[in-house]
């Protein structure tokens, strides 16, 4: 047997032993990896796994985010150890998109648990600990919105049942954005 | 041979002739898998998908406590089913025939049916239930071929058990046996070809 990507044999009916007993072939598929690799278009490969910075609004589609995951995977990032995603957001932007999409994905594949916020910036209005339960998240909870009140917010979305994916989300206010309303921190450009 | 002797012989014939089938029926009945249908279109003449209770002494390698129910869309099932490849192994002990080509394990029609049926079945499956299936074909010689097997999900791993692939069945009893016991191997050597 030649093991392929995301598939392994745990029992093979071929070989001498099958002359006397024929146990059924059993194949194991890492289905999340297969679905990730099959979703979306092939993104352009980069030479080095540089940090990926998405700019713009947080209404990125589900497909583009899984393309991002696939791109990270192809760059050799071990999704089971963590995925860092850095974004920029203008103050007042809605922040819940990554978690919500992740949970929607969780809901799609029927996995229990879900994402939770393990860290949050004190500037966020709701210090929610979005620990997943054994039930899927209700929709109204998924659609919770948070607003960026600080220059930077970092949290981790984690789902140990889905590739053990742990996404560290870093949201930063873009350079040159309006800083009024930020609740703390200093501007490194103005206060070097 | 007196009348008592003839009566004894007759009794033996009756015992052997009667107890044999009775014993067979009893043994088959004792190992009859506990199954339940999943949906109306899942159980048809040419194919079926149903749920089968798995006992602790099951043949499966993993502990029979699966991550069920499990929800995937038919589109996602289509992707997974399309990755299955099969190859007929070399047969013969001394003078082995060459192995066959690597082929898709399932036809587009199979995938079209299974993607919907498996999606519904897994959504209803309990932790101690496997999703078993059977597909029936008529080959060019008007002979029946059967593909049977089972699926279960264990965390991030999806297991596919395929005891019979395109197994030619000529006797109605054999067809019934495989149809009712889809996890029972009755085929020659074959292998998955991991994609």
B120 φ/ψ angles, rounded to the nearest 5 degrees: -70, -40
- Kindly state whether residue A177 falls inside one of the protein's structural domains: no
- Kindly state whether residue A142 falls inside one of the protein's structural domains: yes
Residues A66-124 have pLDDT tens digits of 555 555 555 544 443 333 444 444 444 433 333 333 333 333 332 222 333 322 333 33
- Kindly state whether residue A99 falls inside one of the protein's structural domains: yes
- Kindly state whether residue A139 falls inside one of the protein's structural domains: yes
Q: How far apart are CA A13 and CA A3, in angstroms?
A: 15
* More reliable by pLDDT, B191 or A137: B191
- Same-domain status, A24 and A53: no
- Same-domain status, A69 and A1: no
CA quadruple A36, A9, B67, B36: dihedral sign: positive
Cβ of A9 within 8 Å of Cβ of B191? The answer is: yes
- Same-domain status, A57 and A77: yes
Type and span of the H or E element at B136: strand B129-138
- Same-domain status, A23 and A78: no
Give the CA-trace dihedral at B2, B4, B5, B10, to 10 degrees: 120
What pLDDT, on a 0 to 100 scale, did the predictor assign at position B146?
A: 93
Cβ under 8 Å to B: A residues 19-38: 19, 22-32, 34-35, 38
- Same-domain status, A4 and A54: no
Q: How far apart are CA B105 and CA A126, in angstroms?
A: 51
- Same-domain status, A26 and A43: no
- Kindly state whether residue A108 falls inside one of the protein's structural domains: yes
- pLDDT at residue A65 tops 90: no
**Per-residue H/E/C for B141-173:** CCCEEEEEEEEEEECCEEEEEEEEEEEEECCHH
- Same-domain status, A71 and A110: yes
- Same-domain status, A18 and A44: no
- pLDDT at residue B78 tops 80: yes
Q: How far apart are CA A27 and CA A8, in angstroms?
A: 6
What pLDDT, on a 0 to 100 scale, did the predictor assign at position A110?
A: 28
Task: Give the number of C-alpha atoms closer than 13 A to the C-alpha of residue B155, restricted to the C-beta side.
Answer: 7
The pTM is what? 0.52
- Kindly state whether residue A144 falls inside one of the protein's structural domains: yes
Domain holding A96, by residue range, is 39-172
CA-nearest of A123, A133, A32, A21 to A73 is A32
Q: Are strands A7-11 and A25-30 parallel, antiparallel or unpaired?
A: antiparallel
Q: How far apart are CA B124 and CA B114, in angstroms?
A: 15
Q: What contacts A94, CB < 8 A, 6 or more positions away?
A: A58, A145, A146, A147
- Kindly state whether residue A190 falls inside one of the protein's structural domains: no
Q: How far apart are CA A156 and CA A120, in angstroms?
A: 8
Closest Cα of chain A to B71: distance in Å?
Answer: 4
- pLDDT at residue A41 tops 50: no
Q: How far apart are CA B122 and CA B50, in angstroms?
A: 10
Residues B141-194 have pLDDT tens digits of 888 999 999 999 887 788 999 888 888 888 888 888 889 889 887 644 444 555
- On chain A, the residues whose CB falls within 8 A of the CB of B159 are 10, 26-29
- Same-domain status, A144 and A54: yes
- Same-domain status, A56 and A128: yes
Chain B residue at shortest CA distance from A80: B156
Cβ of A13 within 8 Å of Cβ of B155? The answer is: no
Q: How far apart are CA B41 and CA B30, in angstroms?
A: 28
What pLDDT, on a 0 to 100 scale, did the predictor assign at position B156?
A: 78
Q: How far apart are CA B81 and CA B147, in angstroms?
A: 14
What is the interface size between A and B, counted as CB pairs within 8 Å?
117
The pLDDT-based confidence of B110 (bands split at 50, 70, 90) is very high
In percent, the amount of chain A with pLDDT more than 70 equals 9
Instruction: Provide Rg for chain B, Cα atoms.
Output: 21
- Same-domain status, A12 and A76: no
- Kindly state whether residue A46 falls inside one of the protein's structural domains: yes
Among A6, A13, A62, most B C-beta atoms within 10 A, so best to mutate, is A13
| Domain total of chain A | 2
- Same-domain status, A23 and A83: no
């Amino acid at each position: 047997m030649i093991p392929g990507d995301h598939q392994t044999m745990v029992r093979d009916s071929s070989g001498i032993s099958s002359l006397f007993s024929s146990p059924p072939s059993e194949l194991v598929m890492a289905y999340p990896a297969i679905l990730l690799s099959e979703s979306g278009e092939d993104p352009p490969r980069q030479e080095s796994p540089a940090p990926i910075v998405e700019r713009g609004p947080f209404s990125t589609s589900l497909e583009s985010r899984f393309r991002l995951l696939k791109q990270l995977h192809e760059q050799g990032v071990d999704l089971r150890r963590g995925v860092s995603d850095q974004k920029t957001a203008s103050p007042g932007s809605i922040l819940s998109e990554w978690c919500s999409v992740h949970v929607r994905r969780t809901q799609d594949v029927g996995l229990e648990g879900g994402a939770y916020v393990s860290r949050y910036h004190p500037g966020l209005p709701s210090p929610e600990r979005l620990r997943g339960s054994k039930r899927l998240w209700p929709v109204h909870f998924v659609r919770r919105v948070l607003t960026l009140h600080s220059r930077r917010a970092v949290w981790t979305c984690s789902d140990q049942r889905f590739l053990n994916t742990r996404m560290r989300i870093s949201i930063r206010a873009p350079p040159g954005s309006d800083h009024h309303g930020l609740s703390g921190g200093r501007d490194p450009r103005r206060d070097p | 041979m007196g009348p008592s002797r003839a009566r004894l012989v007759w009794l033996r014939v009756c015992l052997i002739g009667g107890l044999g089938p009775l014993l067979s029926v009893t043994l088959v009945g004792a190992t009859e898998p506990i199954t339940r249908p999943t949906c109306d279109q899942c159980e048809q003449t040419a194919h079926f998908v149903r749920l089968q209770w798995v006992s602790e002494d099951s043949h499966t390698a993993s502990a029979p406590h699966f991550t069920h129910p499990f929800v995937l869309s038919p589109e996602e099932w289509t992707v997974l089913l399309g990755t299955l490849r099969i190859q007929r192994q070399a047969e013969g002990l001394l003078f082995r025939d060459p192995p066959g080509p690597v082929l898709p394990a399932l036809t587009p029609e199979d995938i079209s049916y299974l993607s919907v049926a498996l999606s519904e079945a897994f959504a209803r499956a309990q932790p101690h239930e496997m999703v078993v299936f059977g597909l029936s074909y008529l080959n060019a010689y008007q002979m029946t071929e059967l593909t049977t097997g089972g699926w279960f999900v264990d965390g991030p791993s999806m297991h596919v058990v395929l005891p019979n692939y395109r197994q030619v069945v000529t006797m109605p009893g054999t067809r019934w046996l495989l149809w009712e016991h889809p996890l029972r191997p009755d085929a020659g050597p074959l292998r998955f070809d991991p994609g």
